[in-house]
Amino acid sequence: MTQLTLHRIFNDPDLNGSSPVALKFSPDGSRVTYLKPSQKNFERLDLWEFNVATQQTRLLVDASELVSGQRILSDEEKARRERKRITQTGIVEYFWSPKSNAILFPLNGNLFLYHLDQAETLQQLTTDVTFETDLHFSPDGRFLSFVRNQNLFCIEVATGVERQLTLDGSGTISNGVAEFIAQEEMHRFDGYWWSPDSQSIAFIQVDEGTVELSQRYEIDADHFGVFDQRYPYAGTPNARTRLGVIDITTAEIHWPAIERDPDTYLARVNWLGDSARLAIQIQSRNQQRLDLVLWHKRQDTVSTLLSETAATWINLHDCFHSLQTGQEFIWASERSGYRHLYRYNIEGQLLNTITSGDWVVANLHGVDEVRETIYFDGFADTPLEKHLYRGSLNAHLEPVRISATGQSHQVELSRSLQHYIDSYSSASQPPAVSIQTIAGEVLLDLEPNKVDAHHPFHPYHDSCGKVEFGQLSAEDGQTLHYRLIKPKDLAPGVQCPLIVTVYGGPGVQRVTNEWIPPWHHYMASRGYAMLQLDNRGSSNRGKAFEDPIFGRLGEVEVSDQLVGVNYATSLPWIDARRVGVFGHSYGGYMTLMLMMKAPLVFIAGVSVAPVTDWRLYDTHYTERYLGLPSHNPDGYLSSSVFPYVHNLHGKLLVIHGMADDNVLFTNSTKLYQALQDENLAFEIMNYPGAKHGLSGRKVNLHRYGMMDQFFDQHLSPTSA
């Protein structure tokens, strides 16, 4: 039995095996393309394809051969990658031409077009020093568009002629780019949208001049920088946004007269299938109202189709879908307590309910209007596994599961809706990929990724402990799901320490039947029991499960995590005197709250990039759960860590990136001073130049090594 090490976890080849990402069908369905780590460097991605007709896979573009060295990213590109959680290099995204004859991708700050119909030649479209971002083809494939220097541009593919579509982007004004709040918290990464007929572009203009200017410190290894940053702290003004529509032929811009409070959010924008109308989702500042309004292009009028309201908050979604005629649309709502799909006409009248029940729809993947069939994924079978389902467009029928049980699935449907790419995994199966018919028949195991003798994880597989899934009850009777890993071959009568790996925040689910990152198995192989539990407030369980955190953070989450700890420490093989906790971001916040609210339970904790005072976090996320600081001052105070700092009893290690522009480093420096004022000892490890994700193998090898030493020192594991 080979012992897993940190050096092996953060080295080549990837222990998770060959895990292709960004899988897409070509528009004509003839190919499946994907990004795959290079065999020379698993942090660099290359572009590959599978040809459906020939059943052959091959490398299309080797990123290392195309450019030499890594160009320094612009500040805008760094921020964009941080928002999208892109941590790798090489070809990190790509876009199919609607004609299926070319693939567009950015690399090292410039644009490249790979022509499949021209002897597979590679054309470099731009050579300037400024990064192009936010790339899109027009639906007819005639143009490709992008943002450069805060303005929208397009290039006619056939001629290579470039045109600048907006002219006023500069200073605090940007065109066609999703603002910080939209990217980080609304999960809207686009700032412009082509009409289906390729004649118009709807775009959002952002003016950050209303956002308070503050200074953010970035400390790198060899220099110190002070950056002016317009960070929208909770309770402060947001950026101002407005919607414009560009006529591609004349380049004239029209600004629809949408009556809205300037404090509201432009949450989503969708063209209807007829290209004559635009559906706009407008969310109130307190996020308790969401209006779906319709702008009529020809009449230049605006009407409200429907409104959603909630006593707590409304979760945004991407399930709006216009049917081809533009006379009907699909909409998702949580009005029943669970997100489900509904069919409406263009007057805003409900035609029929499509799905219902005590389970959550996750995403809408396709609508076959001819067969009156709709495809979506969700959790109808179990909250631990996401599956692909088929439903009826015109009637409420029980959904038919297509994907296989015993796994959790991420799917991508072909444009014809006859095939789908299935990216799946389980607790015992690393991420794998197959191509299947829409009936669920496997056509090809593109990447089976079995842990056989050739798999990188195989030498360590026998050292993995048993993974146990279970259920517990919260104080209000709701079901809590947990996952517990027991060290393998733990000697009879020997007790091991417990580490709770926590996130705990809203909008995230951690306990699923998916592949568990090797670090958890590594810690278990060294004699630690590893516990994860999804407390109330976590996603994919319905609003009744999410809502208890409203107005007060760090209360029911702590209570539920302690239910998990109490269960685990009741087991004869876990030592209740040696319990630790580790978490990142909201998990870092939860680590602090657990250690300070239950100081005699946790002996040691590692808090990474924690929020410590919610007044230091952004508007859209924080106000969703706590409201405005002026309206809920007690909630903000009780939700921060500072009223409880004096309770700290266990050993604490705080880790933070010194260039974090999401959870600002100020959160930790404020904590440092509070702990020092209480004369409490603690440890820190700050990483120069590191952002919120603390990405990169060198940084991760060091910080997890620090955690190793910290937990070994204070929890003293007994080797299994």
φ/ψ of residue 570, rounded to 5: -80, -15
> Cα separation of 230 and 577, whole Å?
46
> What pLDDT does 433 receive?
96
Across the chain, which distance is largest between two alpha carbons, in Å?
80
Render the burial of 182-199: b for 16+ CB within 10 Å, e for the rest.
bbbbbbbebbbbbbbebb
- CA 76/CA 36 separation, integer angstroms: 25
Collapsing DSSP states into helix, strand and coil, what is residue 543?
helix
Which pLDDT belongs to residue 707? 97
- Do the Cβ atoms of 155 and 123 come closer than 8 Å? no
DSSP string for residues in 589-620: HHHHHHHHHSTTT-SEEEEES----GGGSBHH
Residue 486 near residue 720 (C-beta atoms within 8 A): no
pLDDT of residue 85: 64
Query: Is residue 540 within a helix (H) or strand (E), and if so which, with residue range?
Result: none
What spatial distance separates the first Cα and last Cα of the chain, rounded to whole Å? 12
Per-residue pLDDT at 720: 42
User: CA 447: distance to chain centroid?
Assistant: 23
Give this prediction's pTM. Answer: 0.94
Q: CA-CA distance, 426 to 405, in Å (whole number)? A: 10
With b for 16 or more beta-carbon neighbours within 10 A and e for fewer, the 467-490 pattern comes to beeeebebeeebebbbbbbbbeeb
| Residues known to be catalytic | 585, 660, 692
- Which 8-state DSSP code applies to residue 671? H
What does the H/E/C string look like for 92-108? CCCEECCCCCEEEEEEC
Q: Which residue has the tokens 């799901």?
A: 481
pLDDT of residue 228: 78
Residues 6+ apart with CB under 8 A from 472: 479, 480, 482, 533, 563, 564, 567
- Per-10-residue mean pLDDT of the chain, 720 residues long, equals 90 88 95 89 87 90 74 60 69 95 89 87 83 93 95 94 96 96 95 98 97 77 75 96 96 95 97 96 98 95 97 98 92 98 96 98 97 97 98 93 97 96 96 95 93 94 93 98 95 95 97 96 96 98 98 98 98 98 98 98 98 98 98 98 98 95 94 98 95 92 97 81
Judge whether 629 and 616 are in contact, CB under 8 Å. no
Please check whether residue 108 is in contact with residue 67, taking contact to mean a CB–CB distance below 8 angstroms: yes
- pLDDT given at position 19: 79
Q: For residue 357, give Cα distances in angstroms to 335, 341, 344, 361.
A: 12, 11, 19, 10
Does residue 174 contact residue 204 with C-beta atoms inside 8 Å? Answer: no
Domains present along the chain, CATH in parentheses: 17-131 (2.120.10.30), 458-715 (3.40.50.1820)
Q: How many other C-beta atoms lie within 10 A of the C-beta of residue 114?
A: 21
Please report the pLDDT score of residue 110 as a whole number: 84
The residue count for the chain: 720
